Amino acid sequence: MKALILVGGFGTRLRPLTLSVPKPLVDFGNKPMILHQIEALKEVGVTEVVLAINYQPEVMLNFLKDFESKLGIKITCSQETEPLGTAGPLALARDKLVDGSGDPFFVLNSDVISEYPFAELIEFHRAHGGEATIMVTKVDEPSKYGVVVMEEGTGKVERFVEKPKAFVGNKINAGIYLLNPSVLDRIELKPTSIEKEVFPRIAADEALFAMVLPGFWMDIGQPRDYITGLRLYLDSLRKKAPARLASGAHVLGNVLVHETAVIGEGCLIGPDVAVGPGCVVEAGVRLSRCTVMRGARVKQHSCVSSSIIGWHSTVGKWARVENMTILGEDVHVCDEIYSNGGVVLPHKEIKSSILKPEIVM
């Protein structure tokens, strides 16, 4: 089987992290976002992954070459010269996706993190015999999204309602699809939306079905949702693979610490923290609801909460970093500095406190 991952553009909502690497390569739970998806696809027998991309394909491919051999899966790029929306890239990658076998192929949004129940999705798709299956997830505030109205028993999709004013349902498109090759005959090579143009037409032909996603779901394309997504992901690890989480007197709740990271004496870490490879957390540090990425150092007696510490950055002694502070790559926060929601671009030294949320160039 094959899969197409919609990587798309510049990842502006996750800047300053995406100023250093394309968004799918930003670490999440101590490995690049896109790797969570590729590993799950490999598990259900996908042999080739095509990345639909319009930005820095060489950076992506150079990086993923290592994983090709490790995972034993073919990874190629389909590069857009102009943005083609969410359906156009399928037409562009048609030759890579269709091999004459008639097998359905996966399409995924690269920002989506979940438990990826692909085996159940394949089973459901084969059973209903329709042309396309979309995964849907239940949300508390459906008015912010496009809602999928479906038959409860069969999962047949009746219609889509964009940002409904009155309640029509609470299930939204989760950005994970399984499509028969015939769907490609419905898509022209031009900027097209799969959600607004292609799926409604398939639904009108009564050939579109939806499966409710079990477990958690999050679009982690922006910082606040990234931090929420980390909590959900670690919750899921606690249920499925608790041995991968850290334990000990210094750990509170769910914490993921890479085996090459060093944690000093008298720290308190958690809940909902990921500490990446090669990180150093010195003595007496307090970390909660945050990610510390590869090669970063958090110095003695500092406190980091609800923040993202980018690659190879430093948080000084007795510093306090909180309220969705995001440090880009190689940012150095001096001793005794306070950051309240500072968004700091790469290669910067912070010598005075950031008292209210602002971007620091």
Q: Nearest CA to 107 among 35, 180, 200, 36?
A: 180
pLDDT digits (tens, 9 = 90+) for 141-152: 877 777 888 888
What are the beta bridge partners of residue 76? 50
pTM: predicted TM-score of the whole model, two decimal places = 0.87
Residue with tokens 């508390």: 140
The DSSP result for 270-289, as a single string, is: -SSEEE-TT-EE-TT-EEEE
Q: Which token pair is 127?
A: 């059973």
Contact 338, 353 (CB under 8 A): yes
Tell me which of 313 and 9 has the higher pLDDT. 313
pLDDT digits (tens, 9 = 90+) for 287-299: 999 999 999 999 9
pLDDT digits (tens, 9 = 90+) for 251-266: 999 999 999 999 999 9
Q: Which token pair is 323?
A: 């309220």
Burial grade of 158 (CB within 10 A; 0-12, 13-18, 19 or more): middle
* All domains of the chain in start order, with CATH: 2-219 (3.90.550.10), 227-359 (2.160.10.10)
pLDDT for the residue numbered 56: 66
Q: Is the pLDDT of residue 10 over 70?
A: no
Helix locations, 146-283, DSSP H: 199-204, 223-240
Q: Is the pLDDT of residue 86 over 90?
A: no
pLDDT digits (tens, 9 = 90+) for 215-259: 888 888 788 889 999 999 999 999 989 999 999 989 999 999 999
Q: How confident is the model at residue 63 (pLDDT cuts 50, 70, 90)?
A: confident
pLDDT for the residue numbered 120: 92
The Cα–Cα gap between 68 and 71 comes to 6
Q: What percent of the chain shows pLDDT beyond 90?
A: 48
